[in-house]
Amino acid sequence: MVPLFFDRNKSALSGPEDVKWLLAEPEKQWMPRYSAYETAYSWFDANGLPDTIHAILRTDPVFIDAELERAYFEWQTQLDDSGRGPSQTDVLALLKIKSGSAVIGVEGKVNEPFGQIVSDWNDYSPSKLRRLAGLIEQLNLKPSILVGSLRYQLFHRTVATLLEAKKIGAAEAAMVVQSFSPDRRGFDDFQDFAAALGVPIAEPQRFSKPIQLGSVRLRLGWTVNSMRSVEKP
């Protein structure tokens, strides 16, 4: 069987437990009802695209017949030369579509927030100012948009998806939140971010309209997932 799942070094993964050792704090982050665990198991259990990812892809005619070619877990993307660390995407999936290749960046969530709001994250150090300016430029945000109340993680995760699409010459991309939260925690923050980009999202499980960012048409989407049953000891 041709492997579908790889780590950030492009080595094939044999099962979801291999993802544990890609995390910054594996003993704290790898457990049932936490995002890394739930996300990894959902992809391995499906042996490909989880049903909710399939479903949201079908809401856009460009992705309706998309096939998974390979997926990388905990993929790192260098965003700029600010000296700050890379953005680490939970799952970076490369797809085959009718027009060629496409990329989706997946951010798994249970109850964790999307990091700090920009105004709290930004301490006005040179590296953070450079990073923020670059993210705003990549997303083509209008000067009138106030970003201070938006979640910083959504900025860098979306730009990481965009950059990875450009890297392989893909014209179509999407950043998808794979949410396992029963009360859709963080959805309001996600809606605020989408509205700032000019692609408002009214409901989960449907892509936003695409936004043209350079050579890439980018969409945003939120999927609703059930947590994997906790195995009994």
Show me where the domains of the chain are located: 39-224
What is the chain's mean pLDDT, rounded? 95
Confidence category of residue 142, pLDDT binned at 50, 70, 90: confident
Distance CA 50, CA 213 (A): 27
Distance CA 112, CA 123 (A): 22
Whether the pLDDT of residue 233 is over 60: the answer is no
Average pLDDT of 117-123?
96
Helix axes 152-168, 187-196, angle to 10 degrees: 60
State the pTM of this model.
0.95
Average pLDDT of 32-45?
96
Distance CA 219, CA 208 (A): 6
**pLDDT above 70 as % of the chain:** 97
**Residues 190, 193, 196, CA angle at the centre, nearest 5°?**
150
Contact indicator for 137, 184 with CB cutoff of 8 Å: no
| CA proximity to 19, closest of 52, 53, 45, 51 | 45
Give φ, ψ of 64 to 5 degrees. -60, -30
Query: Which residues on neighbouring strands pair with residue 108, listed in sequence order?
Result: 178
